[in-house]
Amino acid sequence: MKSSHSFQSRIPAKLSALSVIVFLSACTVGPDFKAPADSASQHFDQQAEHSLGQNIQYGKQITGQWWSALRSPKLDQVMRRAIEGNLELVAADATIRQAAASVAASEGALYPQVDFGATAGRQRVHNAKDPSISNFYAIGPRVGFDLDVFGGIKREVEEQQAFTDLQKRRYDAAYLTLTADVASQALLVASANEQIKAVEKLLANDTKNLELVRAAHLNGATTQIDVSLAETRLAQDRTLLPPLAQQRDAATHALSILTGKGPADWIAPQFDLAEFTLPGNLPVSLPSEMARNRPDIQQAEAQLHIASAAVGVATANLYPKVTLSASLLQAASGNGGAALWGFAAGITAPIFNGGTLKAERQAAVEGYNATLAGYQQTVISSFGQVADTLQAINHDAEEFRAQDDALHSAETSFHLNQQAYAQGENSILQVLEAERAYEQALLGHIRAKTAQYLDTVQLYVALGGNAVGVFDQKVASRETAHPSYQ
């Protein structure tokens, strides 16, 4: 019988030599993933690009924090609070760590698996000359190793790594959505406050007109019908305030929630449109760069990588699997004991399985093709989103100019009618109609201005908002702030 010392000195050397030989001849089957080529398109919408009211810097990348272009220190503060406390980002962070742990778990299969076992019992031997009862035990380690000759395990690791990349890009997308929501809600608060101020000014004018009409009625210069019209106008204009207050309050509550707090736990600050600045220059990257700039496209690419690795896994399942195992046991039965060792190599190859493995590979290939089409659709849709937003900004500028002209005209007409009525040259009905036109023009002017800001935010979002890679930047900054020492 070979001694345990002989096993320890010879078997590992044989195992290592065999492993080297097999690894030198090993291959990883299935497709090696390559990212799709960038789009050859050079424009989103040429007409929109050339007629953009705001100066467009075509071919320029968004740098830094995109919302800083709005030049609102108060928005910067709320944004920092939201990025630090948003619970969706916290959940996305944990999901990435979960995926990274799954990668580590799958990588473990690439290494030898060492187990330690022990058994003990009592046995009776019946067919011996003298039947006897004795104790037995066996204790020792066992090593198993899947050589992964055709790379099935490596493809599974690749699949898990691509899934981790997908989770990182989902974090980036959540970050982009969060920053867009914070900016949009802040602008809605500002718009509501601006409109409330306008309505309150109109109500003050309504009250003044009502006082004038009542005084004229007491003097016999007008009728009760005119008084009733003025009272109706004041009552109707008062109905404008509650919806605007609801818009303001809902947006304020939304800001609290986005920062990870309840509306009663943290009250967001109030905003005014005067606090924001409409960016004069808008950087617009080329369509060919969109795949690197938008988190949703990066997500689609990671999903494509997962589908590609799945094809590799299904392909490897068509080939044999080679395993090595070794064990060293100290065993005893009755009064005798010995050191036992064993070494084995095994191979398992599919011969007939009713076409299951080939069908699974074909399913994986078709899954890849479907994911590729989804990726391409995501890219095309992103082009359409940018084109739509560019056109929206153009139309916003046109509407704002028209609303600006309408406001100046309505304001002039309103003042002239007020003066004419005070001099007895027209009726209260004409004053109320002029006031109605001014009211509509003033609110329309504020809404048009708000639309310019909101669509500018949407353009930054459509271009990716410089969000790709923010999770990696977060990890890097976290490691810099809290370095780990070995």
Predicted local distance difference test score (pLDDT) of residue 58: 82
Residue 48 lies inside a defined structural domain of this protein: yes
Cβ contact 387:360 at 8 Å = no
Query: Which residues make Cβ contacts (< 8 Å) with residue 388, sequence separation at least 6?
Result: none
CB contact at 8 A, 323 and 345: yes
Could you give the CA distance from residue 234 to residue 311 in angstroms, rounded to a whole number? 71
Task: Look at residue 56 and tell me if it is in a domain.
Answer: yes
Structure tokens at 244: 């605007």
Determine the pLDDT at residue 26. 55
pLDDT score for 309:
95
53, part of any domain: yes
Task: Give domain status of residue 123, yes or no.
Answer: no
Beta strand pairing status for 336-348 and 113-125?
unpaired
Kindly report each contact of residues 332-338 with a partner whose C-beta sits within 8 Å and lies 24 or more positions away, as own/partner. 332/135, 332/136, 332/137, 332/138, 333/123, 333/134, 333/135, 333/136, 334/132, 334/134, 334/135, 334/136, 335/134, 338/1
SS3 119: strand
Residue 125 lies in a domain: no
Per-residue HEC secondary structure of 431-448 comes to HHHHHHHHHHHHHHHHHH
d(CA 339, CA 93): 51
Alpha helix positions (H), 330-355: none
Chain CA centroid to CA 351, Å: 45
Q: Classify 143 as helix, strand or coil.
A: strand
Indicate the DSSP class of residue 424: T
Query: What is the rounded distance in angstroms from the CA atom of residue 68 to the CA atom of residue 334?
Result: 82
Which of left, alpha, beta for 427 (phi over 0: left; psi -120 to 50: alpha)?
beta
Domain with 159, as residue range(s), is: 4-112+147-319+355-480
Q: Which residues, 6+ apart, have CB-to-CB distance to 234 below 8 Å?
A: 203, 206, 207, 210
Any domain includes 137: no
**Model pTM?**
0.85
Q: How far is CA 173 from CA 62, 90, 180, 218, 470, in A?
A: 16, 13, 11, 66, 10
Look at residues 79, 74, 116, 42 and name the one whose alpha carbon lies nearest to residue 460: 79
Question: Residue 392 is part of a domain; what is its CATH number?
Answer: 1.20.1600.10
pLDDT at 425: 84
Do 423 and 216 form a contact (C-beta atoms < 8 A)?
no
Task: Tally the domains of the chain.
Answer: 1
Q: Is residue 74 part of a domain?
A: yes
Residue 168 corresponds to which amino acid?
Answer: K
Those residues of the chain that have pLDDT short of 70 are 1-26, 52-54, 125-131, 334-336, 481-486
- Structure confidence at residue 53 (pLDDT): 60
In a domain, 120, yes or no: no
Backbone angles phi, psi at 345, to 5 degrees: -120, 135
| Beta carbons of 381 and 42 less than 8 angstroms apart | no
Question: Which pLDDT does position 15 carry in this prediction?
Answer: 45
The 8-class DSSP code of residue 319 comes to S
